[in-house]
Each structure stands twice: as C-alpha cells, then as structure tokens.
C-alpha cells in the first residue's frame, strides 16, 4: 500500500483573540449536549434496558439522544455490561474510530469492577483501565430511569466542560496502552494513530508517549489490505480487497 503523507497543520499558536470565543464555546457545548448520537455496544444484559429507555415510554429522544449505527458518526459509546477480553479488543477498535469529542458510559456493575464475573478468567474487570470512562451507571441492571438520569448527568457535564475523558485518553495514552498490552500481549496494535491525533488536537503531554508506546512502535507491523475471496454461485471466484 502506498503511503499517503498528509500535512497536518499544527494548532499551537492559535491565539484566542475573539472576545466572543467563550460565549461561542458555551453555545457549542450546549448544542453538543442536546444532540448526542450513541453507539450502544451491547456486550451484556444491560442492553435489555435500553429499548424501553429509547422507545415511547421513557423516550430518550426528547433529550436529544438517538441511537447511531456507525462509530464514526457517534458521540457516545455505551458499554452495556461485562466486557470479555475478546470483546474489549473490539471495543477499543470501535472507540478509536470515533471522532472527538467522544464519551464513554459504562452501564451495569460489570463495567465497574467485574460485577458477578468477579472471578471469571474471560472478562476484563475495570473498564476505565482500558478506556476513559466519563460516567458509570451502576446497577445490575440499571432501570431506564437510572439510564436517563445518567444521560442527564452526562449532559450537565458536557455543558460544564467536565466530560473530557477523550482528552485524558490522549494525555495518558501510554498508561491506557500499557494496560491493554498487559491483557492482549506486546504485539497489540490498532489502525488508529493515537499519538498523531493527540498532537493534532494539541493534547500531547508527558503521559502520551512512554515505554509502552515505544514497545508498540517496535512491534508495529504495517497494515496491509486484507485479501478476501467471495464465492458467488458455483465456481466463480471474485477477488476483492477490504480495508480493516
């Protein structure tokens, strides 16, 4: 695959000369909190409580929250229940595809501390070691009222600017990556260039790079288009490429 070099303009010297900048910030935050698309990654039983929260009885849409089908268009990543180690890989891949600002909500006790899977070899225990969780909604499982309460809390936090877990992921990427490598092994890599994104958002700090990111760079293999074969009908084979 040919490498494409796109110059990214650094935003270091962006002086905020506009006197209305803070007003706009507030307006933007207000609008952002009132229109959220959530990607619910239904990992466990907590997903059962979301249809009633979304449909006519509790009607999440009156708060401006709607389900979204793709991670790249979503603002909230809802993790509804236990995350097995296998699922956690997919969750991290999904999270890194989402555009910033992005928020993670952990629903159910299992995301907090393993819940009823406290001694299971197959599930990750604390979600916030691998992803920056903005809000936990505890319960086994939380009722739709609790889910809505949590959503309102997140809206408040977005409006006040406290919900900045996604910034934390860029600032302390080395720590998060270290925990991920602890579970998945040293050759763990994702297609996203998180360090590059961190410097793009001007969020690269002392915790962004470290021993774990150096390990990542050592073990990193260049991504290649995956060869896929489709069989249509009898013997006809169509060769295609899919990009992961």
Do 58 and 65 contact (CB within 8 A), yes or no?
Answer: no
* Nearer residue to other proteins within complex by CB, 27 or 183: 183
Q: How far is the CB of 144 from other proteins (least distance, A)?
A: 22
Do 84 and 122 contact (CB within 8 A), yes or no?
Answer: yes
Q: Is the dihedral of CA 196, 198, 204, 208 positive or negative?
A: negative
Separation of alpha carbons 35 and 32, rounded Å: 6
The residues that touch other proteins, with contacts defined as CB under 8 A, are 85-86, 89, 112-114, 118-122, 124-126, 129, 182-185
Q: How far is the CB of 179 from other proteins (least distance, A)?
A: 9
Distance of CA 90 to the CA centre of its chain: 10
Q: How far is the CB of 91 from other proteins (least distance, A)?
A: 13
* Nearer residue to other proteins within complex by CB, 120 or 213: 120
Q: How far is the CB of 113 from other proteins (least distance, A)?
A: 5
- Kindly provide the residue ranges of all beta strands, DSSP E only, lying in 6-121, ordered along the sequence: 36-41, 65-67, 76-80, 83-84, 103-107
* Nearer residue to other proteins within complex by CB, 24 or 118: 118
- Kindly provide the residue ranges of all beta strands, DSSP E only, lying in 16-102, ordered along the sequence: 36-41, 65-67, 76-80, 83-84
* Nearer residue to other proteins within complex by CB, 63 or 135: 135
Do 94 and 77 contact (CB within 8 A), yes or no?
Answer: yes
Q: How far is the CB of 86 from other proteins (least distance, A)?
A: 5
Q: How far is the CB of 149 from other proteins (least distance, A)?
A: 15
Q: What are phi and psi of 219, to 5 degrees?
A: -90, -5
- Residue labelled with tokens 């297609």: 191
* Nearer residue to other proteins within complex by CB, 92 or 204: 92
Separation of alpha carbons 219 and 187, rounded Å: 5
* Nearer residue to other proteins within complex by CB, 187 or 241: 187
* Nearer residue to other proteins within complex by CB, 184 or 201: 184
**In 3D, which of 181, 175, 166 has the Cα closest to residue 105?**
166
Q: How far is the CB of 192 from other proteins (least distance, A)?
A: 20
Q: Is the dihedral of CA 47, 104, 192, 208 positive or negative?
A: negative
Q: What tokens were used for 194?
A: 């998180």
């Amino acid at each position: 695959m040919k490498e494409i070099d796109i110059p990214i303009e650094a935003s270091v010297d962006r002086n905020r000369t506009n006197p209305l900048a803070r007003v706009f910030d507030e307006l933007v935050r207000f609008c952002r909190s009132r229109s959220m698309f959530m990607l619910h990654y239904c990992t466990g039983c907590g997903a059962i409580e979301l249809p009633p929260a979304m449909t006519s009885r509790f009607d999440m849409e009156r708060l401006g929250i709607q389900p979204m089908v793709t991670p790249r268009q979503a603002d909230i990543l809802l993790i509804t229940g236990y995350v097995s180690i296998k699922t956690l890989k997919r969750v991290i891949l999904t999270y890194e595809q989402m555009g910033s600002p992005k928020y993670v909500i952990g629903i159910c006790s299992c995301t907090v501390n393993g819940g009823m899977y406290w001694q299971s070899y197959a599930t990750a225990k604390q979600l916030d070691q691998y992803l920056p969780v903005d809000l936990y909604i505890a319960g086994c499982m939380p009722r739709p009222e609790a889910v809505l309460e949590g959503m309102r809390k997140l809206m408040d936090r977005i409006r006040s600017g406290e919900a900045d877990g996604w910034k934390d992921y860029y600032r302390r990427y080395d720590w998060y990556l270290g925990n991920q490598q602890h579970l998945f092994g040293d050759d763990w890599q994702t297609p996203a260039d998180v360090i590059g994104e961190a410097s793009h958002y001007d969020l690269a700090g002392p915790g962004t790079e470290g021993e774990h990111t150096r390990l990542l760079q050592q073990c990193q293999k260049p991504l290649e288009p995956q060869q896929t074969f489709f069989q249509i009908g009898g013997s006809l084979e169509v060769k295609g490429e899919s990009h992961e």
